[in-house]
Structure 1
Amino acid sequence: MFIVLLKFSNNKSQAGQYMSAHKDWIKQGFDDGVFLLVGSLQTSAGGGIMAHNTSLAELQERVNADPFVAEDVVSAEIIEVVPSNTDARLQFLMN
C-alpha cells in the first residue's frame, strides 16, 4: 500500500490550467483499481492519495504522468506502508 503526497510548488497558480487533465488522471487511477482514496491536504497544501495493487516502480511512473507533477504544479512523495494489522473492512490490504 502506498501514500502519495502531492504538495503544491511555486507553480500552484497554474493548477487551474491543468485541473481537467489532473481529474482525468485521478479517474484513470480509480478505473485501473489502483487508487483507493483521493483527497485534499489541509489547509490547501495539495493532495493525498492511497494506492494499492501496484508496485513502487509502476506507481512512480503513474505519478510522473500526472499533469500536475509533469508541469511542476506539485511535488510528489511516495511512502510505502506495509500493513501489519487492519480493521476487518480493510482486510484486503493485507494480501
Structure 2
Amino acid sequence: MFVLDVTYTAPPAAVDALLPDHVAWLQEQFDKGVFLAAGPKNPRDGGVILAVGEDRARIEEIIAGDPFAVAGVGTYRVTEFVATRTAPELVRHRHTPS
C-alpha cells in the first residue's frame, strides 16, 4: 500500500486551473481500483492519496500522468507500507505475514 503526499509548487491559481483535469485523472485511478482515498490537505498546500499497486515503480508511473505532475504544479512523496491492520472495508488489502 502507498501513501502519496502531494505538495503544491505553484500559486493556487495555477493549481486551480488544472483541478478539473486532476479530478478526472483521480477518478480514472479510482475506477481502476488503484486509489482508495484522496483529498486536499488542511491547510490546502497539497493533497494525500491512499493507493494500492503491484510495486512502487508502477505507482510512480501512474503519478507521472497526474496533470499536476505533468504541468509541474505539484510534486509527490511516495511512502510504501505494509498494511497489517485495516478497517473491515480494506480487508482485501491487508497483508498477513506468512
How many residue pairs end up in the alignment?
Answer: 95
For residues 25-65 of structure 1, the C-alpha deviation after alignment (integer angstroms, 9 at most, x for no partner) is 10100011100001111111211100013321111011011
Decide whether the 8 Å contact of 2:46 with 2:74 is kept in 1: yes
**Take 2:40 and 2:26, find their aligned partners in 1: how far apart are those partners?**
13
**Relative to structure 1, is the Cα distance of residues 87 and 30 closer, same or farther in structure 2, using a 3 angstrom cutoff?**
closer
* Conserved? CA contact 1:38–1:49, under 8 Å: yes
Runs of 4+ in 1 over 4 A off after TM superposition: none
- Identity score, percent: 26
Aligned to 1:50: 50
Give 1:11 shift. Answer: 4.5
Residue of structure 2 equivalent to 1:82: 82
Uncovered stretches (5+) of structure 2, i.e. residues with no partner? none
Output aligned runs, 1:16-27, within 5 Å: 16-27=16-27
Gaps of 5+ in 1: none
Aligned-residue Cα RMSD (Å) equals 1.5
In 2 relative to 1, CA 16–89 (structure 1 residues): closer, same or farther, beyond 3 Å?
Answer: closer
> Given that residues 11 and 74 in structure 1 are in contact (C-alpha distance below 8 angstroms), is that contact kept between their aligned partners in structure 2?
no
> Does the aligned pair in 2 maintain the 1:7–1:47 contact within 8 Å?
yes
Alignment deviations for residues 13-35 of structure 1 (CA, whole Å, 9 cap, x no partner): 31122111111110100011100
**2:14 equivalent in structure 1:** 14
